[in-house]
Amino acid sequence: MRQPPIHAAKGTRRWGWFVAAFVVLAVIGWGGWLAWDAYQAQAEADTLQSSAARAQDAVSARDVETLRTEVDTLSEAANSFYEHTQGLNWTLATYIPWVKDQARPLQAAGVAVKALADDALEPLSELDDLDALANPEFVDGRIDPYFMEPYRPTLEQVQEVLTDQAEALAEVDTSNSVVLVADAFDSLTGQLNELATMVDDATTLAQLLPTMLGGEEPRTYAVMLQNNAEPRASGGIPGAVIMVTIDDGRPEIGDYYSAGELNTGESVDGATDEELAIFGAQLTEYAQTVNATPQFPRAALFMSEFIERASGEAPDGVISLDPVALGYMMGDAEPQTIEGIEVSGANLAEVMLNQVYFEFEDPLDQDAFFEQVAKSLFGEVLGGGSSAVDGLERALQENRFSVWSATASEEEILEGTPAGGDMLRDDVWAGAFLNDGSVTKIGYYVDMEVAPSAGYCASDGRVASGQIDVTLTHTFEGDVAELPDYVAKSVSGIGRGEFLGAFYIAVPEGYRVLSVMADSEPAGYTSIDLAGRSLVELQIRLAPGESTQVSVVVEPESSYFGIGEVLASPGSKPSLNVLDVDTFESDC
């Protein structure tokens, strides 16, 4: 039998080697192509970072001229970065182990920086000015309800772009990315979120001001003044309520109610079984207890019903602030003398939350003084004769100012913002809340310090655990016998000057509790659920001079979870109660 020609087999082998060589060269070429793109992208990264930072500063300073200059530089660098992080070579890279962990964040960053430059900052730079990002101001005792209307279309467009990009970046996992990529990605995410927050706030105002400031028809609000000397989860006992009507941006003070005047002996409606189980029937039986819940929209709903029963008409909304916030809003306005006591923005909280009980023994006299101070100073704030707007911004940062609207479309916008006052909303990582049980005003002397932290696995970058440390300190150092009874009286089971309260820590969503310690010892606690969030509840008892530290350790239920802000009940002294979580690396 004749054998096949030998040269045919050799030809097949030559084609095999040729194909293999081509594949190797293609892979080398693709790798070189990818490396070249990455090199070019890195070359633009420094320009991007510095220009984006300057643009961000220009937006914060509302300097439209500087923003226009920076947008040109930023857009050129962003588009170059985008071109060098997209294409077939990058798509292929997203399927290769380890390489994909570097490629995917860079691709997402490329899309985000291009959108940031072209679709967000450029439209802002085309505005005549950036006053839309400033807080509206009183002019002759009035805020123009339509002040932001010319900016509204641009703000809504930019808000949509930033929201989309922030959500896209949040979906990217950088836990296995090299430090250079992960750090750059985190920096971009931070800048984007900061700008998004600024634009979100402005857009919210643009959407709400025309109707809520009475531009279409007069609005009446119940302004709830919280007394932080008797702590509640959202601040303090509602000491008084001032009715304010606003028509075309011009406010007018109406009726005044002490909290006791609003109690009718009957519960208001609307509390859930869950709320009643946690906070008790007093949540809806007494106007003084509506804000035992850390969810201000719920407290406002109950307060609205109390107002309706007392006046015959439900308010269009409820606004909450405390004396610390009111002091911020007074700023450096001239002090006023009321009942022989000089009151200024600097000492307002101390006077209203503590000194009044030393000056006036009769609770009726205390209420009368509280009413005079509230009406006089709140009236000055509404008249624009002080640093009302700047103070309001600080109060918002400390969760001391909250707004609820009875109009569903407005409340839908408010409920997802810090101004809405829901301290269990989705973007809140954890919370620490305190409800007084002493039935005195000794809570003025109780300070709460919150220190949240989270540990990352050094090996893979995932969040390994979180910890919320809360230190509660009874700061009174004198003789409790010298304190007025209204501040420190003894009641059943509670000694004179002693503080007793219910303390809650809201556990981060997607985490489970590993341990709860009080002063380094295992603590007895109750695990409860509220509005889909898990809460740890403990009883706190402190004599003057005593301190306790509660530590709650949690871990993610899956391999990776993000971290965010922690909110705390605002106390009787100026302090920042919106806290960032410190992070550290640990062995896992």
Give the pLDDT of the chain (588 residues) as one tens digit per residue: 444 443 444 444 444 443 444 333 444 444 555 566 665 666 677 788 888 889 889 998 899 999 999 999 999 988 988 988 888 888 888 888 888 888 898 899 999 999 999 999 999 999 999 888 877 888 888 899 999 999 999 999 999 999 999 999 989 988 788 888 888 888 888 889 889 988 998 999 999 999 999 999 999 999 999 999 999 999 999 989 999 999 999 999 999 999 889 998 899 999 999 999 999 999 999 999 999 999 999 999 999 999 999 999 999 999 999 999 999 988 888 899 999 999 999 999 999 999 999 999 898 899 889 888 888 887 777 776 546 777 888 899 899 999 999 999 999 999 989 999 999 999 899 999 999 999 999 999 999 999 999 888 776 667 778 999 999 999 999 999 999 999 999 888 899 999 999 999 999 998 999 999 999 999 999 999 999 999 999 999 999 999 999 999 999 887 666 788 899 999 998 876 778 888 887 776
pLDDT for 37 equals 61
Relative to beta strand 428-436, strand 565-568 is parallel
Q: What burial letters (b/e) apply to 491-503, b meaning 16+ CB within 10 Å?
A: eeebebbbbbbbb
CA atoms of 277 and 427, how far apart (whole Å): 25
Residue 182's domain spans which residues? 15-210
Region of residue 207 (left: phi > 0; alpha: psi -120 to 50; beta: else): alpha
6, part of any domain: no
pLDDT for 588 equals 67
453, part of any domain: yes
4, part of any domain: no
Count of residues for the chain?
588
Residues 435 and 382 in one domain: no
CB 366 within 8 A of CB 227: no
CB 70 within 8 A of CB 130: no
Residues 404 and 320 in one domain: yes
AA letter at 477: E
8, part of any domain: no
Residues 392 and 266 in one domain: yes
Which residues contact residue 170 at a Cβ distance below 8 angstroms, ignoring those fewer than 6 apart?
A: 189, 562
Residues 361 and 438 in one domain: no
Which residues contact residue 461 at a Cβ distance below 8 angstroms, ignoring those fewer than 6 apart?
A: 174, 175, 176, 177, 182
List 53's β-bridge partners, or say none. none
530, part of any domain: yes
Total domains in the chain come to 3
Residues 173 and 232 in one domain: no
Residues 321 and 345 in one domain: yes
**Residue where a domain terminates, one of 210, 231, 250:** 210
CA atoms of 181 and 105, how far apart (whole Å): 7
Q: Indicate the pTM of the whole model.
A: 0.88
Question: Residue 263 sits in a domain of what CATH number?
Answer: 3.40.630
Question: Residue 543 sits in a domain of what CATH number?
Answer: 2.60.40
Residues 129 and 239 in one domain: no
99, part of any domain: yes
Residue in 377, 262, 279, 257 with CA at minimum distance from that of residue 322: 377
Residues 147 and 256 in one domain: no
Residues 401 and 523 in one domain: no
Distance from chain centroid for Cα 530: 19
Residue in 66, 220, 204, 198 with CA at minimum distance from that of residue 148: 204
CA atoms of 425 and 429, how far apart (whole Å): 9
**Residue where a domain terminates, one of 381, 408, 435:** 408
**Residue where a domain terminates, one of 158, 192, 210:** 210
Residues 175 and 236 in one domain: no
pLDDT for 501 equals 96
CA atoms of 425 and 434, how far apart (whole Å): 18
Residues 272 and 330 in one domain: yes
List 257's β-bridge partners, or say none. 241
**pLDDT tens string 366-414:** 988 988 888 888 777 777 654 677 788 889 989 999 999 999 999 999 9
For residue 65, the tally of other CB atoms under 10 A from its CB is 11
Residues 333 and 399 in one domain: yes
pLDDT for 385 equals 52
pLDDT for 15 equals 42
Q: Where are the beta strands (DSSP E) in 332-462?
A: 336-338, 341-343, 401-405, 428-436, 446-457
Residue in 356, 421, 372, 368 with CA at minimum distance from that of residue 260: 368
9, part of any domain: no
Which residues contact residue 118 at a Cβ distance below 8 angstroms, ignoring those fewer than 6 apart?
A: 75, 78, 79
